[in-house]
């Protein structure tokens, strides 16, 4: 039966690494590309804003063609950027979490392990 402290420390380290890694990747994306990372939250808010703009255009009396020209900027995102984000947010974050869990488990195991009696010949 594994030590509960080791399990707790590994879980906490994995969660912490995931949060830290996600923030790091998002800020790196903004620094490199100068735009928001295509996360689920950004995609949903962009769709919501586009829907609101279309609704306002309809209220303003614009034609159907003009309303159809209002597009979601997330739909125009190149495929390679989507693939890059998928790779970064999936594989890289999972690797980071796994490394943090293993390191925390090893460190906690060493700290909580009982020492053998000293050999006093």
| Residue 1, pLDDT score | 41
Query: Concatenated DSSP letters for 52-119?
Result: HHHHHHHHHT--HHHHHT---GGGGS-HHHHHHHHHIIIIIHHHHHHHHHHHHHHHHHHHHSPPPPP-
The better pLDDT of the pair 109, 2 is held by: 109
Span 66-79, mean pLDDT?
Answer: 84
Closest Cα partner for 97 from 23, 19, 24, 18? 18
Average pLDDT, the chain: 86
Band of pLDDT at residue 121, cut at 50, 70 and 90: low
């Amino acid at each position: 039966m594994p030590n509960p402290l080791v399990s707790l420390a590994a879980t906490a380290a994995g969660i912490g690494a995931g949060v830290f890694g996600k923030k790091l990747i998002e800020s790196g994306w903004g620094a490199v590309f100068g735009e928001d990372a295509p996360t689920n939250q950004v995609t949903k808010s962009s769709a919501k804003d586009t829907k609101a703009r279309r609704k306002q255009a309809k209220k303003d009396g614009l034609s159907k063609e003009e309303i159809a020209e209002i597009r979601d900027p997330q739909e125009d995102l190149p495929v390679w950027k989507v693939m890059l984000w998928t790779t970064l947010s999936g594989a890289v974050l999972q690797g980071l979490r796994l490394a943090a869990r293993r390191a925390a488990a090893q460190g906690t195991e060493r700290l909580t392990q009982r020492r053998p009696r000293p050999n006093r010949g």
